[in-house]
Chain A
Amino acid sequence: MTSPADQGHVAAAGDVATLDPDEARAPAGRAVPWRRIAVITALIVVAVVLAYVRSGSGVVVVQAVATGVLIGGVYGLIAMGLTLIFGVLDIVNFAHGSFLALALFLTFGLAQAGLHPYLALAVSVPAMFLLGVLVQRGILAGAMGKPLENQLLITLGISLIIENALLLFFGANPRSVPLPGDRGVPIFEAVANLSRILAFVGALLLAGLLYLLLQRTRLGTAIRAVAANDTGAQLVGIDTRVIYAVTFALGTACAGAAGTLVAPLVTIEPTTGALFNIVAFVVVVLGGMGNVVGALVGGLVIGLAEQLGGIYLPGQSPLLSVFIVFVLVLFLRPQGLFGRSA
């Protein structure tokens, strides 16, 4: 896709895994933002301490932190896919959650057929990748470069179709995928299900793989080049159409993998995907649109916010605190935690 001579040029475009074009134009060799990380860590510590003061129970807080971090890893994986699509294709993908729902039902079907839920990854990831290619080439390619609203409406249409096709064929009854040998694992004073821990570990592994793919392979370099400047990438011989399709497919594959990983944790309904979609948007904005590493960090932060929010606002849905964080971030730091102010 790229000749060796282009590599140096492209590598300079973004040495951090940042896909946002504006970010990528920053001077090369930007150091790890230690100060930013310190501030975020401090804020989290304050939030945890306040939660302790509010609830007065250490166990409750430890449980919330453990649950939040574990699910946050999965949010991170989902959001990495979403932010990748945004960074490269400039599409706000409302269908992301519905791809996850599709993977949930796929996993459910395979588990019913007797397959171990985690082995379903071998099916759901390639299947979602393929579907991503088809959707991008078949539907979205016709709207590239059109106003943002058009793509938003198209992905909205796709999500309506997938979600309601699931409703039509499977009905609204909640389903579940039991994990063989699932049990509670003590973490300090708290307890976490083995399935939750495995989902976290799996999500981190896959996120790491995606990061390596983006940083260390020619394909990843090409993807980052297209994100930084698609005209420039085209000029050095990158087939942007292929990159668009592959990137979208990688994004949906992330959603597919996450769907399989969380299948043992959630009640499986056609609308389950929409919940994850909402959270993923929050995470993407928090991490900075197009910032892959930011998405992972944002996922952990939102996982914590959701669980700690349940302590701050008892009786309200944990999602409410996610939205409050979202709105605050939108207003106060729309460039995300790691973005530079405009």
Chain B
Amino acid sequence: MTATSAPPAPETAAGRPLPRLPWNRHLIAIAVLAVLLVPLPLILPPAQASVAVRVLIFALMSIGWNMMSGFGGMFSFGHAAYFGIGAYASAWLLVEHRVSPWIGILAGMVVAAAFAALIGFLALRYKLRGAYFALATFAFAEMLRLWATNSDFVNRAVGYHVPLRPEASWWWLQFEPSSPNYFWVALALTVVALVVSVLYLRSRAGQFTKAARDDEDAAAAVGIPVMRYKLLTMALSAAITAVAGAFYVQYFLFIDPDLAFGSSVSIQAILPAVIGGVATVWGPVIGAVVMGPLNDVTATMLRNPPAGLEFLQGRSGLDVIVYGTLLIIIVLVLPKGIYGTIRQRWFRR
């Protein structure tokens, strides 16, 4: 088995393999997009720029989820665990030990990857599949949430506030609230995550992972150490999502157990990928672009509700209703997501 042999393409519902782009074209597209997006925060008004940062955080979370659940085929319903570990690791190091957030991000990645590998080892060792696997990941995220809520070690339900610094600093990753630097940092992190995922997927390890997803027994039969590559994928996936968590804390300056480990966080990691297209490089990014602004639109609507619905003023929940509706529609109508469907149409001869 060499990496040069054609990888098994993900099958469509009709059993016809999807066409795929050569990996180099993905890398070129990432580079072009990154360059195009650099001036964005200078053009956008500040309120829109913060939406753009949120889009990037969503994208980052979901790129991580997609790695494990899309390309790895292990449906995670507990990515809040890794997001939260990233967030808490960097916040804890910063608040309790005055450690730079940059080191905090790295620490969060390492801890999240280790935790993912541990969960993965247990789940694979005991052969959890399908619904059982999803429920186990969910249980671990919830256990972390409950533990954090009741442990003095991480400040209980209060969580952490990032201390404000008198002046902007790259080392402490803190700028004026309207500074374009936040966007650039998030953009850089997202681009790195995308490049890493493309490089990983075209590497031997990535091909082995997808082979194991498509037919585990066959992959094992040709000598692929399935367990090792699945764990590697999970660890990488967790590390990417942890970066999103760590950046989230530095941007919003606050974290508590629900914001870090709540089940809604897991859902936020799943939604962009499902909307954009599971197991595609661009799906999470496109889904995040769809999802990010929705939050703002609904908040504006609830501030000034249309006539007849005045009683809704100041309420929350509409954004999630829209997410939920979108989720159902996408799964029923475009099960391959926006990007997946377009790609399929595009290449149809």
Binding site for B on A (CB under 8 A): 92, 139, 142-143, 146, 148-150, 152-154, 156-161, 163-169, 171-172, 270, 274, 278, 281, 285, 289, 315-317, 319-320, 323-324, 326-327, 330-332, 334
Tell whether B126 is near chain A: CB-to-CB under 8 Å: yes
Given known pairs A139-B328, A157-B327, A164-B324, the reply for A331 and B131 (CB within 8 Å) is: no
Cβ contacts under 8 Å, A166 to chain B: 317
- Is B318 an interface residue, CB under 8 A from the partner? yes
B327 touches A153 (CB 8 A): yes
Verify B142–A278 contact, CB threshold 8 A: yes
Closest 3 CB pairs of A and B: A160-B324, A164-B317, A167-B317
B128 touches A317 (CB 8 A): no
Query: How far apart are A301's CB and chain B's nearest CB, in angstroms?
Result: 16
Residues 74 to 110 of chain B near chain A (Cβ within 8 Å): 75, 77
In the complex the two chains form, what is the Cα distance from A148 to B335 in whole Å?
A: 12
How many of chain B's residues have a CB under 8 angstroms from any CB in A? 40
Q: Is residue B294 contacting chain A, with contact meaning CB distance below 8 A?
A: no
What are 7 A-B contacts with C-beta separation under 8 Å? A148-B75, A163-B317, A167-B316, A168-B321, A315-B150, A326-B135, A327-B139
Contact of B270 with A by CB under 8 A: yes
Which residues 24-49 of B have a CB within 8 angstroms of A?
A: none
A319 to chain B, nearest CB (A): 6
A281-B135 CB under 8 A given contacts A157-B327, A164-B317: yes
- Evaluate contact between B327 and A160: CB separation under 8 angstroms: yes
| A324 and B328 within 8 A (CB) | no
- Given A143-B331, A320-B147, A323-B139, the answer on whether A158 and B132 have CB atoms closer than 8 Å is no
Return B270 CB to nearest CB of chain A, in Å: 7
Taking the closest CB of chain B, its distance from the CB of A36, in whole angstroms, is: 20
Does B162 count as interface, using CB distance less than 8 angstroms?
A: no
CB neighbours of B318 from chain A (8 A): 164, 168
Query: Chain B contacts of A169 at CB under 8 A?
Result: 312, 315
Contacts of B173 in A (CB 8 A): none
Cβ B150 vs Cβ A316 within 8 A: yes
Q: Are B130 and A148 in contact (CB under 8 A)?
A: yes
Are B135 and A330 within 8 A (Cβ)? yes
- Could you tell me if B131 and A92 are in contact, using CB atoms closer than 8 angstroms? yes
**Residues of B316-335 whose CB lies within 8 A of A:** 316-318, 320-321, 323-328, 331-332, 335
- Mask, B150-169, CB within 8 Å of A = 1, is 10000000000000000000
B122 at the interface (CB under 8 A from A): yes
A165 contacts which chain B residues (CB < 8 A)? 317, 321
- In the complex, are the beta carbons of B324 and A158 less than 8 A apart? yes
Q: Is B199 located at the chain interface by the 8 A CB criterion?
A: no
Give the contacting residue for A317; candidates B149, B270, B312; CB below 8 A.
Answer: B149
CB within 8 A of B134: which of A92, A159, A274? Answer: A92
Q: Are A167 and B315 in contact (CB under 8 A)?
A: yes
Is the C-beta of B146 less than 8 angstroms from some C-beta in chain A? Answer: yes
Write the nearest CB–CB distance from B258 to chain A, whole angstroms: 10
Residues of A within 8 A of B139 (CB): 323, 326-327, 330
Contact between chains at B317 and A149 (CB < 8 Å): no
- B residues within 8 A CB of A334? 126-128, 132
